[in-house]
Amino acid sequence: MTSPAAFSRRRLMQGFAATTTLATLARPVVAMPTNPDVVVIGAGAAGLAAARQLIDYGLEVVIVEAANRIGGRAWTESDTLGVPFDRGASWLQGPADAPHVAQARALGFDLRDHSTPRDMLFIGDRRADGTERRQRDRAWSAFYAALASSRGDVAADTVVPMDAPFAKTVATWMGPMDFGVDIDQLSRQDWYAFAEYEANYLVREGLGTVVASLGEGLPVQRDTAVQRVDWSGEGVQVETTAGTIQARACIVTVSTGVLASGAIRFTPDLPEAKQTAIADLPMGQLLKVGLMFDGARFGLSPDDFVSHDIDGPLPAEACYYLAFPAGHDYMTGFMGGSFGRAMEREGEEAAIAFALERLVASLGSDVRRHFMRATMAGWDGNPLSRGAYSAARPGGFAARHALAEPLGDRVFFAGEAMATPYATLVTGAHMHGARVAEDIAFTLDAPGCSSCAARKQNPIRIPGTD
């Protein structure tokens, strides 16, 4: 999810600029090679970006995807609500020149700026008054000041003022809703390293549709799960449910949840440092419930946030909402962290009932009269993600860099978990995939990589090695 923009994360590292651009839109279909140079494991944002770039560098690529669709955790469908509903990512966020923004514009997608949304805070069944809203705003500022001025990779709840008025409301936004973890599981360093968004859009046709458009024409082998990567010899042997593919290198883009599950085995085993990095990057949870209404707006405007005060213990039984995204007639309820996890386990009926009930508590029984149908989008139980997005454990922030280290010159890793300072984001995954593609092209001496030639002439100097 995303925090209300008035409290958006501070502008920090600008170093990871969007150096990649999306290739031209009309692209020929690339044939599926039998002996590719590179196997890309996973057709999410990172895998698709990496594959495009590798093909542009003149390398032969096969993308192996376990699902029957591309896009990974960016997935728009219209079957359940009758209009585009993003079951995974929905905000197109990142640097001003985030690659998907250009792609979406060029394809004529309807982008709705969401950089200054209203956050309608409810206390019981009434809207917070001016004094209460100012108190809530002061709590946000105090949280930011405390996190920014403290040091170390500690749990956020050890440094923020948890006894301030509205602290629990803010802690619930910041932890479960934004990072997918309870506030006592949120790494201060992970929060600090996250760059402020310059672009922040909702896409009426769905963000998943934008990401899927990047896969058009690419050689993707769907319904094919990778089960083992053998990197014991020269190159790699990638064992899949449809046979073994021999290649010079592979790029692993599955989530840290999938890596931790052991669904893909490595021969030889992953080195200990890599296993520690995976363990330090568990998946956060963000459960979404789409609630379709008959056109009623309950005094809200499209793209408003609706949140509620928390007065019980944390982690709270909270559901915050995005009202009528991009003008659609549904509201999306979000439940994150351990409560979101518990609700997903209880099942769709219970999650929908809770999301509806919680909304009635704020907006009144009119909500029930105008309610039509609903759907739950859970990712915790999805074996192809095992959670929503990575959240470094307190003390584990360095794992984002450690995970990105390649194994030898043949097993590379890419994806949102390594995409600092845009970790957890679609845009980050895309930019990281493209960057790792350049590393591979350099390693494999790809003929079409002009930036590789420049790198050879001016090799990157690693401080302390000369």
Ligand X SMILES: Cc1cc2nc3c(=O)[nH]c(=O)nc-3n(C[C@H](O)[C@H](O)[C@H](O)COP(=O)(O)OP(=O)(O)OC[C@H]3O[C@@H](n4cnc5c(N)ncnc54)[C@H](O)[C@@H]3O)c2cc1C
What residue ranges bind ligand X (CB under 6 A)? 41-47, 64-67, 72-74, 88-91, 93, 225-226, 253-255, 258, 263-264, 286, 288, 379, 384-385, 388-389, 415-416, 424-427, 429
- Rounded to an integer, what is the distance from CA 75 to the centroid of its chain? 11
Q: Closest separation between CB of residue 64 and ligand X, Å?
A: 5
Of 164 and 376, CB closest to ligand X? 376
Q: For residue 113, give both structure tokens.
A: 């700026």
- Dihedral sign for Cα 436, 439, 444, 445, please: positive
Of 57 and 379, CB closest to ligand X? 379
Cα–Cα dist 144/160, whole Å = 8
Of 228 and 369, CB closest to ligand X? 228
Q: In which element (H, E) is residue 267 found? A: strand 265-267
Name residue 251's beta-bridge partners. Answer: 40, 412
Task: Give the residue from 394, 51, 452, 18 showing the smallest Cα distance to 199.
Answer: 18
Amino acid at site 404 = A
Q: Closest separation between CB of residue 300 and ligand X, Å?
A: 20
Cα–Cα dist 336/314, whole Å = 12
Cα–Cα dist 316/308, whole Å = 11
Q: Closest separation between CB of residue 228 and ligand X, Å?
A: 10
- Beta strands 76-77 and 85-86 are antiparallel
The Cβ of residue 268 has, within 10 Å, a number of other Cβ atoms equal to 9
Of 123 and 263, CB closest to ligand X? 263
Q: Closest separation between CB of residue 95 and ligand X, Å?
A: 12
Q: Closest separation between CB of residue 393 and ligand X, Å?
A: 18
Of 93 and 237, CB closest to ligand X? 93
Q: Closest separation between CB of residue 97 and ligand X, Å?
A: 15
CB proximity list for 26: less than 8 A, separation 6 or greater: none
Name residue 380's beta-bridge partners. Answer: none
Of 50 and 316, CB closest to ligand X? 50
Q: Closest separation between CB of residue 6 and ligand X, Å?
A: 18
Of 94 and 363, CB closest to ligand X? 94
Cα–Cα dist 337/356, whole Å = 19
